[in-house]
């Protein structure tokens, strides 16, 4: 279990302007910034050195001081809900975050939420929130690839653009979005594609929702899969999530990995197979044994893009497995966890993957 930090303080940031040409504070939308850590809250040993930097060391107040201009976009309040590098997030943490986001959005005093988050697992948290947030108000996630102490740190501009997006009436009803590098990407389609560059996030199959120019988002498409208010998932009464693991398919892959996960008590396994999520002759007996113990198996591709439909290169009907559509392994795990909070039949879980 990781230590989850929750601060009682709710920092209201005095960044409002009333000079000529800038909207009065009373006319601005109210945006809550929820901080969770990550590189955007990181610090390095020097301004020109990436090696040795530490994530999640700067509190939200410090992040906001680097972007006083956001006070011209919205009335800002901020709250530190977590303070971790995103690879250290667990199920308890994302449940905590989702419940807090829903609480904040219920308030008539809040017009939208911006979540600062590490990039390593941002796509997982974004997709989880996309499925369980119960509001049409904008929820925008943002992070950075360079710590705030770096030359040309990308965090301040990313945060400015994220607030601009969350404050826009055009952002309502579009599900959870990620704004980085001036691009707006839907949570379901978001992929971290590069380990270092500031344009790391891509939507390789379906494209961007839009772009942010200066103080305004420009949208060109909307998500077609169900999200937020239109999903069947509700985490309000959940205290835990089902255990789901991921297994990679490769030449000479070893069934002991599946067997170990089953022995540990998982309720589901994502099998990230080669090509069209093929299952090797080495792995098949372990898959069959797992199904005999009612462990659900979802097949997705280890490839970076492409669709996987039922019975493609593998007899899902015969073996009782589920096809994962276009989801990557990490997101398929998120969806399977939520599906298992409601269903135990293959047909029901397959419907979930076909819907979301």
**What residues are annotated to the active site?**
39
Residue entry with tokens 């067997």: 259
Helices (H), 212-343: 256-264, 274-277, 284-292, 316-319, 329-340
Q: Which residue has the tokens 């839907």?
A: 186
Question: Residue 49 corresponds to which tokens in the numbers above?
Answer: 């050195």
Encoding tokens for residue 174? Answer: 């579009």
- Burial annotation 117-141 (CB, 10 A radius, 16+ → b, else e): bbbbbbbbbbbbbbbbbbbbbbbbb
CA quadruple 115, 176, 118, 336: dihedral, nearest 10: 130
Task: Write out the H or E segment, with its range, that includes residue 50.
Answer: none
- Helix count and strand count (H, E) for the chain: 10, 15
**Residue 132 belongs to what H/E stretch?**
helix 122-132
Q: Which of 63, 61, 74, 9 is nearest to 38 (CA)?
A: 63
Q: Are 308 and 274 in contact (CB under 8 A)?
A: no
Evaluate whether 141 touches 125 at the Cβ level (below 8 Å): yes
């Amino acid at each position: 279990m990781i230590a989850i930090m929750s601060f009682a303080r709710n920092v209201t940031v005095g960044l409002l302007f009333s000079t000529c040409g800038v909207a009065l504070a009373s006319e601005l939308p109210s945006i809550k910034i929820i901080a969770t850590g990550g590189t955007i809250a990181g610090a390095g040993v020097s301004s020109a050195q990436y090696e040795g930097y530490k994530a999640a060391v700067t509190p939200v107040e410090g992040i906001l001081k680097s972007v006083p201009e956001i006070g011209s976009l919205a009335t800002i309040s901020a709250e530190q809900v977590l303070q971790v590098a995103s690879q250290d997030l667990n199920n308890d943490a994302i449940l905590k975050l989702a419940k807090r986001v829903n609480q904040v959005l219920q308030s008539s005093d809040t017009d939208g939420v911006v979540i600062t988050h590490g990039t390593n697992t941002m796509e997982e948290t974004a997709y989880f929130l996309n499925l369980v947030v119960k509001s049409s108000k904008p929820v925008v996630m943002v992070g950075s690839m360079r710590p705030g102490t770096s030359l040309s740190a990308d965090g301040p501009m990313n945060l400015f653009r994220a607030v601009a997006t969350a404050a826009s009436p055009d952002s309502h009803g579009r599900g959870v979005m990620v704004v980085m590098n001036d691009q707006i990407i839907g949570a379901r389609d978001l992929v971290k594609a590069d380990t270092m560059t500031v344009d790391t996030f891509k939507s390789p199959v379906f494209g961007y929702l839009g772009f942010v120019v200066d103080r305004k988002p420009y949208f060109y498409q909307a998500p077609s899969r169900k999200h937020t208010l239109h999903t069947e998932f509700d985490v309000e009464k959940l205290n835990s999530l089902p255990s789901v693991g991921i297994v990679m398919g490769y030449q000479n892959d070893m069934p002991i990995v599946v067997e170990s996960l089953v022995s540990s008590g998982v309720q589901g396994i994502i099998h990230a197979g080669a090509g069209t999520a093929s299952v090797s002759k080495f792995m098949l007996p372990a898959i069959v044994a797992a199904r005999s113990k009612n462990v659900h198996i979802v097949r997705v591709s280890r490839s970076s893009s492409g669709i996987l439909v039922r019975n493609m290169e593998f007899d899902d009907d015969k073996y009782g497995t589920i096809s994962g559509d276009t989801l990557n392994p990490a997101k398929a795990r998120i969806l399977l966890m939520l599906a298992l909070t409601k269903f135990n039949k293959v047909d029901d879980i397959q419907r979930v993957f076909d819907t979301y």
